[in-house]
Amino acid sequence: MGFYSGWLFPRLLDQVMRQQQMVPFRQRIGNAATGRVLDVGIGSGLNLPFYGEQAERIVGVDPSPELLRFAEERAGKTAIPVELLHGSGESLPIEDRSIDTAVVTFTLCTVDDAVTTLAEIRRVLRPGGRLLFAEHGRAPERGVALWQDRLTPIWRRLAGGCHLNRKPDDLIRSAGFAIDTLETGYLKGPRPMVFVYSGSARST
Protein backbone atom coordinates (compact mmCIF):
# COMPACT_ATOMS: atom_id res chain seq x y z
CA MET A 1 0.00 0.00 0.00
CA GLY A 2 1.57 3.28 -1.13
CA PHE A 3 1.83 6.64 0.60
CA TYR A 4 -1.16 8.08 -1.29
CA SER A 5 -3.61 5.20 -0.79
CA GLY A 6 -2.41 4.19 2.67
CA TRP A 7 -1.85 7.55 4.37
CA LEU A 8 -2.81 10.62 2.34
CA PHE A 9 -6.07 9.49 0.73
CA PRO A 10 -7.74 8.40 4.02
CA ARG A 11 -7.13 11.90 5.38
CA LEU A 12 -8.43 13.59 2.25
CA LEU A 13 -11.50 11.34 2.30
CA ASP A 14 -12.22 12.17 5.93
CA GLN A 15 -12.15 15.89 5.12
CA VAL A 16 -14.36 15.56 2.03
CA MET A 17 -16.93 13.41 3.81
CA ARG A 18 -17.29 15.97 6.61
CA GLN A 19 -19.18 18.34 4.31
CA GLN A 20 -22.14 19.94 6.03
CA GLN A 21 -24.49 19.01 3.18
CA MET A 22 -23.99 15.33 4.05
CA VAL A 23 -25.09 15.78 7.66
CA PRO A 24 -28.87 15.49 6.97
CA PHE A 25 -28.31 12.04 5.42
CA ARG A 26 -26.32 10.91 8.44
CA GLN A 27 -28.97 12.31 10.80
CA ARG A 28 -31.81 10.54 9.00
CA ILE A 29 -29.98 7.23 8.99
CA GLY A 30 -28.81 7.59 12.59
CA ASN A 31 -32.35 8.28 13.78
CA ALA A 32 -33.78 5.31 11.84
CA ALA A 33 -31.16 2.67 12.68
CA THR A 34 -32.32 0.25 15.40
CA GLY A 35 -30.98 -2.76 17.26
CA ARG A 36 -27.66 -4.23 16.19
CA VAL A 37 -26.45 -1.97 13.41
CA LEU A 38 -23.90 -2.87 10.75
CA ASP A 39 -22.17 0.13 9.17
CA VAL A 40 -20.55 -1.18 5.97
CA GLY A 41 -17.63 0.98 4.89
CA ILE A 42 -17.70 2.86 8.17
CA GLY A 43 -14.59 4.74 7.08
CA SER A 44 -13.47 7.31 9.64
CA GLY A 45 -16.68 6.87 11.66
CA LEU A 46 -18.51 10.01 10.62
CA ASN A 47 -21.90 8.32 11.13
CA LEU A 48 -21.15 7.42 14.75
CA PRO A 49 -22.26 10.69 16.43
CA PHE A 50 -25.70 10.42 14.80
CA TYR A 51 -26.83 7.01 16.05
CA GLY A 52 -29.53 7.30 18.70
CA GLU A 53 -30.53 5.31 21.77
CA GLN A 54 -32.54 2.87 19.66
CA ALA A 55 -29.25 1.54 18.27
CA GLU A 56 -28.04 -1.05 20.78
CA ARG A 57 -24.64 -1.76 19.23
CA ILE A 58 -22.73 -0.57 16.15
CA VAL A 59 -20.56 -2.98 14.17
CA GLY A 60 -18.38 -1.11 11.69
CA VAL A 61 -16.50 -2.80 8.85
CA ASP A 62 -13.89 -1.17 6.62
CA PRO A 63 -10.89 -2.35 4.57
CA SER A 64 -8.71 0.65 5.52
CA PRO A 65 -6.70 0.29 8.76
CA GLU A 66 -5.98 4.03 8.71
CA LEU A 67 -9.65 4.99 8.48
CA LEU A 68 -10.49 2.50 11.22
CA ARG A 69 -8.02 4.29 13.48
CA PHE A 70 -9.97 7.50 12.94
CA ALA A 71 -13.22 5.63 13.60
CA GLU A 72 -11.80 4.25 16.85
CA GLU A 73 -11.22 7.79 18.09
CA ARG A 74 -14.81 8.75 17.30
CA ALA A 75 -16.13 5.51 18.82
CA GLY A 76 -14.60 6.54 22.13
CA LYS A 77 -16.88 9.58 22.21
CA THR A 78 -20.20 7.71 21.85
CA ALA A 79 -22.20 6.01 24.60
CA ILE A 80 -23.29 3.21 22.26
CA PRO A 81 -20.97 0.16 22.19
CA VAL A 82 -18.97 0.09 18.94
CA GLU A 83 -17.11 -2.88 17.45
CA LEU A 84 -14.74 -2.11 14.57
CA LEU A 85 -13.69 -4.88 12.18
CA HIS A 86 -11.15 -4.88 9.39
CA GLY A 87 -12.78 -6.45 6.32
CA SER A 88 -14.43 -5.93 2.97
CA GLY A 89 -18.05 -5.60 1.98
CA GLU A 90 -17.70 -8.56 -0.37
CA SER A 91 -16.88 -10.88 2.54
CA LEU A 92 -18.37 -9.49 5.72
CA PRO A 93 -16.92 -11.00 8.93
CA ILE A 94 -20.42 -11.20 10.39
CA GLU A 95 -22.62 -14.20 11.21
CA ASP A 96 -25.81 -14.92 9.24
CA ARG A 97 -29.05 -13.19 10.27
CA SER A 98 -27.45 -11.31 13.15
CA ILE A 99 -28.04 -7.68 12.12
CA ASP A 100 -31.20 -5.60 12.58
CA THR A 101 -30.18 -2.60 10.46
CA ALA A 102 -27.50 -2.32 7.79
CA VAL A 103 -26.14 1.06 6.72
CA VAL A 104 -24.25 2.11 3.60
CA THR A 105 -23.31 5.76 3.19
CA PHE A 106 -21.27 6.65 0.11
CA THR A 107 -19.87 3.11 0.09
CA LEU A 108 -21.39 1.21 -2.86
CA CYS A 109 -19.49 3.42 -5.28
CA THR A 110 -16.12 2.23 -3.96
CA VAL A 111 -16.49 -1.50 -3.30
CA ASP A 112 -15.04 -3.75 -5.99
CA ASP A 113 -18.28 -5.71 -6.39
CA ALA A 114 -21.43 -3.88 -5.30
CA VAL A 115 -23.76 -6.81 -6.07
CA THR A 116 -21.72 -9.21 -3.92
CA THR A 117 -21.55 -6.63 -1.13
CA LEU A 118 -25.33 -6.23 -1.15
CA ALA A 119 -25.77 -10.02 -1.18
CA GLU A 120 -23.54 -10.17 1.90
CA ILE A 121 -25.63 -7.49 3.58
CA ARG A 122 -28.76 -9.46 2.80
CA ARG A 123 -27.12 -12.57 4.28
CA VAL A 124 -26.37 -10.95 7.63
CA LEU A 125 -29.71 -9.15 8.02
CA ARG A 126 -32.31 -10.75 10.23
CA PRO A 127 -35.78 -11.39 8.73
CA GLY A 128 -37.49 -8.02 8.67
CA GLY A 129 -34.18 -6.16 8.89
CA ARG A 130 -33.67 -2.95 6.94
CA LEU A 131 -31.02 -1.44 4.72
CA LEU A 132 -30.58 2.33 5.08
CA PHE A 133 -28.60 4.03 2.35
CA ALA A 134 -27.26 7.34 1.07
CA GLU A 135 -25.17 6.88 -2.08
CA HIS A 136 -24.06 9.05 -4.95
CA GLY A 137 -24.36 7.64 -8.45
CA ARG A 138 -25.65 7.84 -11.98
CA ALA A 139 -27.50 11.03 -12.83
CA PRO A 140 -30.78 10.94 -14.80
CA GLU A 141 -29.69 13.55 -17.36
CA ARG A 142 -28.03 11.94 -20.37
CA GLY A 143 -25.35 14.59 -20.68
CA VAL A 144 -24.29 14.31 -17.04
CA ALA A 145 -24.34 10.50 -17.22
CA LEU A 146 -22.08 10.55 -20.28
CA TRP A 147 -19.57 12.65 -18.36
CA GLN A 148 -19.78 10.19 -15.47
CA ASP A 149 -18.91 7.37 -17.87
CA ARG A 150 -15.99 9.35 -19.29
CA LEU A 151 -14.60 10.41 -15.92
CA THR A 152 -15.00 7.17 -13.97
CA PRO A 153 -11.83 5.39 -15.22
CA ILE A 154 -9.66 8.33 -14.10
CA TRP A 155 -11.71 9.15 -11.00
CA ARG A 156 -11.40 5.57 -9.73
CA ARG A 157 -7.62 5.90 -9.60
CA LEU A 158 -7.76 9.19 -7.71
CA ALA A 159 -10.67 8.48 -5.38
CA GLY A 160 -10.11 5.06 -3.86
CA GLY A 161 -11.95 3.07 -6.53
CA CYS A 162 -15.02 5.31 -6.60
CA HIS A 163 -17.39 4.75 -9.55
CA LEU A 164 -19.39 7.83 -10.54
CA ASN A 165 -21.75 5.91 -12.81
CA ARG A 166 -23.21 3.14 -10.65
CA LYS A 167 -26.97 3.27 -10.07
CA PRO A 168 -27.56 2.34 -6.41
CA ASP A 169 -31.31 1.76 -6.59
CA ASP A 170 -30.95 -0.77 -9.41
CA LEU A 171 -28.10 -2.51 -7.59
CA ILE A 172 -30.14 -2.73 -4.38
CA ARG A 173 -33.14 -4.22 -6.19
CA SER A 174 -30.97 -6.69 -8.11
CA ALA A 175 -29.64 -8.04 -4.80
CA GLY A 176 -33.14 -9.02 -3.66
CA PHE A 177 -34.22 -5.93 -1.74
CA ALA A 178 -37.50 -4.05 -2.09
CA ILE A 179 -37.03 -0.30 -1.79
CA ASP A 180 -39.52 1.26 0.63
CA THR A 181 -38.45 4.89 0.34
CA LEU A 182 -36.24 6.64 -2.20
CA GLU A 183 -35.26 10.28 -2.64
CA THR A 184 -32.88 11.58 -5.28
CA GLY A 185 -31.29 14.90 -6.09
CA TYR A 186 -28.14 16.90 -6.57
CA LEU A 187 -25.92 18.19 -3.81
CA LYS A 188 -23.75 21.25 -4.32
CA GLY A 189 -20.71 20.56 -6.46
CA PRO A 190 -19.75 19.27 -9.92
CA ARG A 191 -22.87 17.57 -11.27
CA PRO A 192 -21.18 14.30 -12.34
CA MET A 193 -20.14 13.73 -8.72
CA VAL A 194 -23.07 14.84 -6.59
CA PHE A 195 -26.28 13.07 -7.65
CA VAL A 196 -27.48 11.25 -4.51
CA TYR A 197 -29.90 8.40 -3.85
CA SER A 198 -31.12 8.00 -0.26
CA GLY A 199 -33.76 5.85 1.37
CA SER A 200 -34.51 2.48 2.92
CA ALA A 201 -35.05 -1.07 1.69
CA ARG A 202 -35.94 -4.49 3.06
CA SER A 203 -35.05 -8.00 2.01
CA THR A 204 -37.75 -9.73 -0.08
pLDDT in tens, 87-142: 999 999 999 999 999 999 999 999 999 999 999 999 999 999 999 999 999 999 99
Residue 203's pLDDT band (cuts 50, 70, 90): confident
Looking up residue 139, the CATH number of its domain turns out to be: 3.40.50.150
How confident is the model over 175-196, as pLDDT tens digits? 999 999 999 999 999 999 999 9
Please report the DSSP string for 128-188 in residue order. EEEEEEEEE---SSHHHHHHHHHHHHHHHHHTTT--SS--HHHHHHHTTEEEEEEEEEE-S
At 39, which amino acid appears? D
**Global pTM?**
0.93
Specify the number of domains making up the chain.
Answer: 1
Q: For the chain, what percent of residues have pLDDT higher than 70? A: 94
The helix (H) or strand (E) run that includes residue 14 is helix 9-16
Domain of 69 in residue numbering reads as 3-203
